[in-house]
Amino acid sequence: MIKVSVMYPYKPGARFDHAYYRDTHMPLVKARMGDACLFYTVDKGVAGGSPDDPPAYVGMCHVYADSVEAFQAGFAPHAQEILADIANYTDLVPVMQISEVVVGQS
């Protein structure tokens, strides 16, 4: 299993609409990717190393897929639409990382 993390670095004065991201953008990603997206999570940064420090990232999502190939097969056909929607909730440039999920526990 892999996890694709999309992280939006904190920047004073930047725009990030958490409600739109949570309620519109990420459901759009899931709808377009279908079963290629096993599930996703959304994080809202609240603090950095201490409660008084700003978060490293103001928001992020993690999309889980069976493999990089499965993710690409689900994402690529809709990439233009999904990426165009970013302007609707932020003026930040995201940082992306693909990770192999080594262990998970619930």
Q: Provide the token pair at 98.
A: 């693909």
Domains in the chain, CATH or no CATH each: 2-100 (3.30.70.100)
Please report, in tens digits, the pLDDT of each residue of the chain (106 residues total).
999 999 999 999 999 999 999 999 999 999 999 999 999 999 999 999 998 999 999 999 999 999 999 999 999 999 999 999 999 999 999 999 999 999 877 7
Q: Is 59 in contact with 14 (CB distance < 8 Å)?
A: no
Strands (DSSP E) along the chain, which ranges?
2-9, 39-44, 57-65, 95-100
Instruction: Report the pLDDT value the prediction gives residue 103, as an integer from 0 to 100.
Output: 85
Rounded CA separation 15/1 (Å): 32
Instruction: Report the pLDDT value the prediction gives residue 75, as an integer from 0 to 100.
Output: 98
List the beta bridge partners of residue 16.
90
